[in-house]
């Protein structure tokens, strides 16, 4: 419990925590944030002590793929650095911004309630060092303890109760606007320090939305600890794109009738899928802070994490694509009964990321129910576009006994209609995802970054116009004029638009501050 009636904002808890746990320079397990309210000369400064909340239903524990994070019997959420692969998923799952990557070990780290002290009967370092005794620790389930009595008798609050994590850090006498970033107007500068450039650029983007009238802010931060601006960078957006191409190419082949066996759907489609599965895997591994531990996902799995399920799905999909390719190379057609399981596996490959991003509970923009259908539609767009380009680049067909030999452009012409309809669905889902009414303010702010904020040119001009509308018009013109170049242009623009969307979607979701 933090008693803000006593807290003087001295940072003694921060220093004690850093010394006790050897927390590296520039990172924090507990920190003090200052906010100010009012207009001069009627202003007031408030302190808020922020840290891990040791939630009863901790999202970081659920999303961690290697059980590096776990909840002990005494309620402490602890971390085993020897199992951590540095995927940064826990940083996305935590709504309280409590985790960071240790620069010395390249693994996640957080407050562990000084578990090593608890085990020998001592209190956490922050508790014993506080000069005003504003930090109180104890067993909430034991009614005889001071903390249990205070929770029962005093008016207390917790951070972000709407997240449903059941946090176990309680505040007495805290200013609500100091605990909730939604009630603060982001500031790019501080009283006694500079914000890191990436973080300052990020908050400037969000502050512009407040200037445009999307406000509700009651306080202004004037001092805070530095935080990672976006734990997931361009590799995650690129991974979503390469996975869409991989899943989509085989999905299109599986949904096309066996009469088209002997075209590029026989060998080229599974070859494209395998190539982009390899690229997807490479991007996933390269994005890890400890890539040499990648196989921990398989050898030490947390079966509740969709990172683990995604790895298994990708492996199964790679096996299916390899079998399809082997059948094509040996002249054996894929039976119709086998096409449905392959199509379902391709859909799972495209769509599992919706559940992974859903476990990133700290990012409200990623919790939309439209993410799953949008990923599947995007994969179909990517598959049609990739195979269209392939049929134009390699127009030859395979002579397969018992199957008709198609003209060079048959597959290209076959995909015009599906690609057009898939782009239409993609455009509709885009508009629904960003323009629909969002039940959570942070999700609405992220969507507004796409439509009216820093990403508006890339969204409206790049994704919607050049990546969706222009390809649809090019396909219509290609049908009427029978111009091969227009079909190729439409496919290339569709793929470019998908890549741009995945990139800004991942960035916008991480642009709203968590603490």
Q: What would the DSSP string read from start to end of 81-116?
A: TTT-----HHHHH-TT---EEETTTTEEE---TTHH
The C-alpha atoms of residue 209 and residue 511 are separated, in whole angstroms, by 12
Is 305 in a helix, a strand, or coil? coil
pLDDT classification of 106: cutoffs 50, 70, 90: very high
pLDDT at 399: 43
> How far from the centroid of its chain's Cα atoms is residue 278's Cα?
21
Alpha carbons 475 and 427: distance in angstroms, whole number: 15
Distance CA(313)–CA(316), nearest Å, equals 5
Q: Which whole number is the average pLDDT over 54-75?
A: 96
Q: Residue 494 pLDDT > 70, yes or no? A: yes
Report how far Cα 336 is from the mean position of its chain's Cα atoms. 36
The predicted structure's pLDDT at residue 396: 53
**Rounded alpha-carbon distances, angstroms, from residue 428 to 318, 464, 468:** 31, 10, 10
- Give the pair of three-digit tokens for residue 35: 């906010």
| 501 contacts 463 by C-beta, under 8 angstroms | yes
Place of tokens 């996902």: 297
Question: For 37-46, what is the mean pLDDT?
Answer: 87
- Structure-block tokens of residue 400: 């397969």
Looking at residues 423-446, what average pLDDT do you find? 94
- Is the Cα torsion angle 411, 412, 417, 420 positive or negative in sign? positive
pLDDT tens digits for 353-362? Answer: 999 999 999 9
- Tokens representing 322 are 């390899």
Enumerate the β-bridge partners of residue 172.
3, 156
Confidence band of 393 (pLDDT split at 50, 70, 90)? confident
Q: pLDDT per residue over 265-319, tens digit each?
A: 888 899 999 999 999 999 999 999 999 999 999 999 999 999 999 999 999 999 9
Q: Tell the CATH topology of 2-223.
A: Alpha-Beta Plaits (3.30.70)
Q: Per DSSP, what are the bridge partners of residue 37?
A: 44
pLDDT digits (tens, 9 = 90+) for 435-489: 999 988 899 999 999 999 999 999 999 999 999 999 999 999 998 988 889 999 9
Residue 260 pLDDT class (50, 70, 90 cuts)? low
pLDDT, tens digit, 9 for 90 and up, residues 328-387: 888 888 887 888 999 999 999 999 999 999 999 999 999 999 999 999 999 999 999 999
In whole angstroms, what is the distance from residue 455 CA to residue 467 CA? 15
pTM as predicted = 0.92
Scanning 436-483, the segments in alpha helix (DSSP H) are: 441-451, 456, 470-481
CB 181 within 8 A of CB 513: yes
- How many residues would you count in the chain? 515
Confidence class for position 159, pLDDT limits 50, 70, 90: very high
User: What pLDDT is recorded for position 198?
Assistant: 78
pLDDT of residue 210: 66
Please give the structure tokens belonging to residue 46.
């408030």
Output phi, psi for 160, to 5 deg: 50, 60
Does residue 495 have a pLDDT over 90?
Answer: yes
Confidence of residue 400 (pLDDT cuts 50, 70, 90): very low
Span of 181-190, 209-218, 308-317, 473-482 with lowest mean pLDDT: 209-218
Could you tell me the residue ranges of all domains in the chain?
A: 2-223, 234-509
Beta pairing partners, 102: 107
At residue 408, the pLDDT reads 40
Query: What percent of the chain has a predicted confidence (pLDDT) above 70?
Result: 94
What is the topology classification, in CATH, of domain 234-509?
Formate dehydrogenase/DMSO reductase fold (1.20.1630)
| pLDDT band at 394; cut points 50, 70, 90 | confident
HEC profile of 199-259: HHHHHHHHHHHHHCCCCCCCEEEEECCCCCCCCCCHHHHHHHHHHHHHHHHHHHHHHCCHH
Q: How far apart are CA 491 and CA 388, in angstroms?
A: 7
């Amino acid at each position: 419990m933090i008693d803000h009636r006593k807290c003087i904002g001295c940072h003694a808890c921060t220093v004690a925590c850093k010394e006790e746990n050897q927390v590296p320079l520039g990172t924090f397990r507990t920190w003090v944030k200052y906010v100010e309210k009012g207009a001069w000369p009627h202003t007031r400064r408030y302190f808020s002590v922020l840290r891990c909340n040791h939630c009863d239903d901790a999202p970081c524990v659920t999303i961690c793929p290697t059980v590096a994070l776990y909840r002990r019997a005494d309620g402490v959420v602890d971390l085993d650095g020897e199992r951590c692969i540095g995927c940064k998923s826990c940083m996305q799952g935590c709504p309280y911004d409590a985790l960071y990557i240790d620069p010395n070990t390249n693994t996640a780290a957080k407050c562990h309630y000084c578990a090593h002290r608890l085990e020998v009967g001592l209190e956490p370092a922050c508790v014993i060092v506080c000069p005003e005794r504003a930090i109180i620790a104890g067993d909430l389930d034991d009614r005889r303890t001071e903390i249990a009595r205070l929770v029962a008798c005093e008016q207390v609050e917790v951070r972000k109760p709407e997240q449903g994590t059941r946090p176990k850090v309680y505040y007495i006498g805290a200013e609500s606007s100091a605990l909730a970033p939604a009630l603060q107007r982001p500031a790019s500068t501080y009283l006694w320090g500079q914000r890191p450039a990436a973080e300052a650029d990020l908050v400037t983007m969000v502050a512009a939305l407040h200037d445009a009238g999307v406000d509700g802010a009651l306080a202004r931060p004037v001092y805070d600890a530095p935080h990672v601006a976006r734990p997931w960078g361009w590799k995650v957006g690129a991974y979503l794109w390469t996975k869409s191409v991989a899943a989509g190419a085989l999905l299109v082949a599986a949904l096309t009738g066996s009469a088209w066996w002997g075209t590029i759907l026989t060998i080229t489609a599974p070859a494209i899928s395998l190539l982009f599965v390899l690229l997807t895997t490479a991007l996933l591994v390269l994005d890890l802070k400890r890539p040499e531990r990648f196989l921990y996902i398989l050898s030490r799995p947390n079966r509740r994490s969709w990172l683990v399920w995604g790895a298994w799905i990708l492996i199964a999909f790679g096996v299916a694509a390899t079998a399809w390719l082997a059948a094509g190379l040996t002249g054996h057609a894929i039976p119709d009964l086998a096409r449905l399981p392959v199509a379902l596996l391709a859909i799972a490959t495209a769509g599992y990321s919706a559940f992974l991003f859903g476990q990133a509970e700290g990012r409200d923009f990623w919790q939309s129910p439209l993410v799953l259908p949008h990923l599947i539609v995007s994969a179909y767009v990517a598959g049609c576009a990739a195979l269209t380009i392939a049929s134009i680049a390699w127009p030859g067909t395979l002579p397969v006994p018992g199957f008709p030999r198609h003209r060079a452009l048959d597959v290209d012409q076959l995909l015009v209609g599906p690609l057009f309809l898939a782009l239409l669905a993609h455009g509709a889902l885009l508009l629904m995802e960003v323009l629909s009414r969002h039940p959570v303010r942070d999700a609405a702010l992220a969507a507004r970054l796409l439509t009216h904020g820093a990403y508006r040119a890339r969204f409206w001009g790049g994704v919607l116009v050049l990546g969706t509308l222009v390809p649809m018009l090019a396909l219509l013109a290609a049908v009427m004029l029978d111009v091969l170049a227009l079909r190729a242009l439409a496919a290339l623009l569709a793929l470019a638009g998908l890549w741009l969307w995945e990139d800004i979607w991942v960035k916008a979701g991480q642009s709203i501050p968590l603490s």
